[in-house]
Each structure stands twice: as structure tokens, then as C-alpha cells.
A and B are shown apart, each in its own frame.
Chain A
């Protein structure tokens, strides 16, 4: 087993265990904190995949903003659900069954992948420069870039409108 694989197993275990804690913990603040562990694991995974920009952005956006939003929302609605009450639907065995079936199906599909054993090829160039030029070059992805701005504008206007409605 190489160093890469050891790191992958450690990070993968961190991601899966903390993800399981996210969906099973009763205390929702703890669930949000476990989510942060999952997200951090994903960031480490991106770093091992040479997507360094995404690794850092994952921490900035997910941990720095989204997770904190979650913690806030839990704090603001906490009176409603006490931690010792059951946090799952009565139909949770069905949910578990569906989730397991999904995993089985996905694993089956992944097993049939023709390039399952592919290994990392040499990095073509500086990925950061290539990414930044692809994102704004008119031949590549400038339209998604501008549309993302419109999407976020819509989200801002909509969310603030909903949140402030009396």
C-alpha cells in the first residue's frame, strides 16, 4: 500500500464516518459540526487530486459560510425541537433500505465502468491558470460565469425577501 492509498483510506474513513454522524446525531448543532468534518475531508481529497483551488474554496465557501449558516439556522429554530426527541421519521427503515439500494445500484454501475482502473495522468499544465482562463474565456465557460452571478443575485433577492416577510 502506497502513501497515497493510506491517505485516501484515512480521508475516506473521516468522510464516511462524519457523514454517518451528520444523518444520525440527535443534536443538530453537532450534526452541523460533523458536516464540517465531512467537508474538510472532501477538501483534503481535492488537494490530493491536484484541484488546489477547489480545496481552498471548499473551506472558504462551505466551512466559512454554508456551515455557519446552518449553525445559525439551528440556533434560531432551536426552541422547536428538543435534542432528546426522536429526530427520524417513523418510516426510517424504508429510507435506509432505499439508501442501501441506491448504493448497491451505484456500486454495480461503478463496477462496470470501462475505465475503473484508470490512473492519474500527468498534469497537463498549471491547473490554476488553466481553470481561471477557462472560466472567463469567451470560447469556454464565460456564460456559466455570468449566469452564476445572476443566479446568486436571484438567490440573494429571493432569500432576503422571504426571510424578512412579516
Chain B
């Protein structure tokens, strides 16, 4: 069955034949088919997004020893749909003094920047939107539009909390974009390409998490910060600045921010899988792309689950800790890792695969060991100085 080995091509050729038999020009039918594919694909992504609401609520309920939604449909599966209807028919309030155009543009850009990412997601060996040769930078570019949307929301709302949330966002998302780019540079070095398709295909023998475990760790930490999720959710901070930049948003506009955040988390889970965990690779995935797409979604879901796990386990950290963690730890570590990876890769790239993987893994472990020892030494120094300075205080009491 050719449909099983290359479904997109079969559907494409069938549609092309149908449309041209109606007398349409070649380029027009091509355009229409592509447009149709894009609309269907994005609609599918939005349906997935709706399901993610249920997944998120169910999983957080398990973490907190509750049941979660369980009334509407089996296991509460249909719960998101009434939620969405409620959001749509809620009154939409624009606060006084808000900058109307910017205020309305911000939620649109926020969700759109996440949808843009799906143009380059490699779902399976022959199922993907488009194979860009600059896909990784495209990912960063879409992320910067998301950053922009938050700053627009914070400024346009005419609200002190919203503005403070937007300011914190710059300190947060923008800072962590540096480790994120470094983490993206590592697969680029390993493959010599920025195309997600080629990066995934290069992992047929071994997953890149073996070659660069620290890179995978760097990516997920930076992704969580980029998402503005706990422990890096200072730009929302429900208990201090009452949800920050989207404080003044109601109804569907809030819904767009919310949908964007959930989909963003899932998408980063997907990219984590594609960059470091073999993407669609799995048994028989090469012959049957639909199976590959299934593997990809499962791996993305696991990545999303890890992000949720961190979110509902770790408390929010203070802004000075957050900045120090990035600029004094993650960024230098990332750059050192990048240098080590580049040099080791250049030395070992002609050698057999087992030697290459072992060498890369070892170099990563050495970097990790030195980092941990350095941190331990510094912690000891701090503890000794703290004990030395606290002794007189104790004597006073």
C-alpha cells in the first residue's frame, strides 16, 4: 500500500489530479492544495490544543491528589469544550486608557507566534510542513515575536501590575534565550545543518541525548524559562502581581494567551524530542510514517509531561536568583559546553560511531563533573563565611 508508506504524497497527487481535471491551472491547484493542507493542519493543532487543556488539568490533579475534571464525558474528556464556549460568550472588557489597537494585537500575536512554530515541526519521515534550512533560527524568531506580544500586552493594558509583568518578562524570557540558542547550536554542530528534518534523520543510529546530555538539559531548562512557566513564572506571579501581563484581559483574549501557553509548552516538548530524542524514530517508523507521527506525538507528550512535572513541583524563584542562575551559571556553562562540543566533535568526527558517542558522552560528563565540583566548593565557601559571620550574633542572644 503506497498510502501507508507516503500518505501525504498520495493525497497530494490525488487532489492534484482531481483539481487539474476540473481545468484548473497547475500553480493554482498547487496553491489551493497547500492552503487547504495548512488550514487543516492548523485546525488539527488547535484541536490538540483544546485536548491539552484537559491533559493539563488532569495531570495537575494527579500531582495534587485530586480527581480533576470528571463530569462531562468519559474522564471529563469533553470538559474543555464548555470552557471554550464560556470564554467565547464572555464579555470582553477593554480597560480605560488602554491602547486599543496594541491591546487587541497582543493576544493575536501571542497565539500566532506559537502556531508559526508548527510550520517546521517534523512529524514523521515524510510528514512535515516545510523543510527549512534555517529551521532552528526560525524557531528563535517565532519565539521573539512571542516576547514582543507580551511586552505589547503589558504596556497597552494601562495597568501597573501588567507593566511590571512585562518588565519581568524581559528579565526572564530574554535572558534565557541565550542558553536556548546555545542548546540549539549543539545539534547544529553535530549535524552541520539547521534543518529539523536532517537533524531528526541523523539520529537514526543513536539519539543526540547520548551525544550531548548536557545540551538536552540546557534546552529543557531554557524552554521552561522561555515559556514563563513555574519556577520561572515571575512575569505572571499570581500571588504578587496577580497574573502580570494578562491581568486586564477577559474572555477570548485571555483564552488566546492561555491556549498559546499550553500549545507552546507542548511544542517545546516536541522540539526537545526532535532535537535530542530521535524525533519520529522508533520501530518501523521509517516504512510507516503514520507510526512515526504517533511516536513523535508520544515523545512530545512525555516532554510536555516533564515540563508540567517541573511546573507543579518547584516553587517560583526570586527574580535575583533567576537572573543569577542564568547569567552566572547557565550562560557560562552553555558557552563552555559549546566549545567542548565543537572541539570534541571536530576531533572525533572521522572515528567510528561507538568511539564518537563515547567520546562525546565522556566530554559532557567531564564538564558536568567539573561544574558540580565547582558549585560544591563555592557552596562550602559560602557556608563557612556564613557560619563565621553568624557566630557573634548567636553569642549576643
Q: Tell me the A residues contacting B by CB distance below 8 Å.
A: 29-30, 33, 36, 52-53, 56-57, 59-60, 63-65, 67-68, 71-72, 75, 126, 128
Known: A36-B148, A68-B148, A75-B155. A60 touches B137 (CB 8 A): yes
Contacting pair B155 A64 (CB below 8 A): no
Could you tell me which residues of chain B, from 116 to 175, have a CB within 8 Å of some CB in chain A?
132-134, 137-138, 140-141, 143-145, 147-148, 151-152, 155, 163, 167, 170, 174
CA distance A7 to B134 in the complex (A): 22
Contacting pair A33 B152 (CB below 8 A): yes
Contacting pair B134 A56 (CB below 8 A): yes
Could you tell me which residues of chain B, from 214 to 256, have a CB within 8 Å of some CB in chain A?
none
**Which B residues touch A64, using CB under 8 A?**
140-141, 143-145, 147-148, 177
Contacting pair A56 B152 (CB below 8 A): no
CB distance from A127 to the nearest CB of B (A): 9
Contacting pair B140 A128 (CB below 8 A): no
For this complex, 7 residue pairs linking A to B, each with C-beta atoms less than 8 Å apart, are: A30-B102, A52-B132, A59-B141, A60-B140, A67-B148, A71-B155, A75-B155
CB distance from B22 to the nearest CB of A (A): 22
Most chain B beta-carbon contacts within 10 A, residue among A29, A30, A60, A67: A60
Known: A33-B102, A56-B138, A68-B151. A63 touches B144 (CB 8 A): yes
Contacting pair A52 B134 (CB below 8 A): yes
Q: Tell me the B residues contacting A by CB distance below 8 Å.
A: 99, 102, 132-134, 137-138, 140-141, 143-145, 147-148, 151-152, 155, 163, 167, 170, 174, 177, 194
Apart from A65-B174, A68-B147: 7 A-B pairs, beta carbons within 8 A: A33-B102, A53-B137, A57-B137, A60-B137, A60-B140, A64-B141, A71-B151
CA distance A119 to B309 in the complex (A): 56
Main SS class of interface, B = helix
CA distance A30 to B99 in the complex (A): 10
Known: A59-B144, A65-B144. A53 touches B134 (CB 8 A): yes
Contacting pair B144 A56 (CB below 8 A): no
CA distance A33 to B109 in the complex (A): 13
CB distance from A66 to the nearest CB of B (A): 10
CA distance A82 to B163 in the complex (A): 18
**Which A residues touch B137, using CB under 8 A?**
53, 56-57, 60
CA distance A67 to B147 in the complex (A): 11
- Please provide the 8 A-B residue pairs with the shortest distance between their CB atoms, ordered closest to farther: A64-B144, A59-B141, A56-B137, A56-B134, A60-B141, A60-B140, A56-B141, A128-B133
Contacting pair A72 B170 (CB below 8 A): yes
CA distance A33 to B99 in the complex (A): 13
Q: Which residue of B lies closest to A62 (CB)?
A: B144
CB distance from B266 to the nearest CB of A (A): 22
**Which A residues touch B147, using CB under 8 A?**
64, 68
Contacting pair A63 B148 (CB below 8 A): yes
**Which B residues touch A128, using CB under 8 A?**
133-134, 194
CA distance A56 to B99 in the complex (A): 29
Q: Which residue of B lies closest to A126 (CB)?
A: B133
Q: Which residue of A lies closest to B135 (CB)?
A: A56
Q: Which residue of B lies closest to A74 (CB)?
A: B155
CA distance A30 to B101 in the complex (A): 10
**Which B residues touch A53, using CB under 8 A?**
134, 137
**Which A residues touch B194, using CB under 8 A?**
128
**Which A residues touch B138, using CB under 8 A?**
56
CB distance from A141 to the nearest CB of B (A): 19
**Which B residues touch A56, using CB under 8 A?**
134, 137-138, 140-141
**Which B residues touch A65, using CB under 8 A?**
144, 174
CA distance A59 to B132 in the complex (A): 15
CA distance A152 to B177 in the complex (A): 18
CA distance A128 to B102 in the complex (A): 36
CA distance A52 to B131 in the complex (A): 13
CA distance A75 to B167 in the complex (A): 10
Contact of B145 among A30, A63, A71 (CB under 8 A): A63
Most chain B beta-carbon contacts within 10 A, residue among A56, A71, A128: A56
Contact of B133 among A52, A72, A75 (CB under 8 A): A52
**Which A residues touch B167, using CB under 8 A?**
75
**Which A residues touch B134, using CB under 8 A?**
52-53, 56, 128
Contacting pair A59 B145 (CB below 8 A): yes
CA distance A103 to B155 in the complex (A): 36
CA distance A144 to B145 in the complex (A): 29
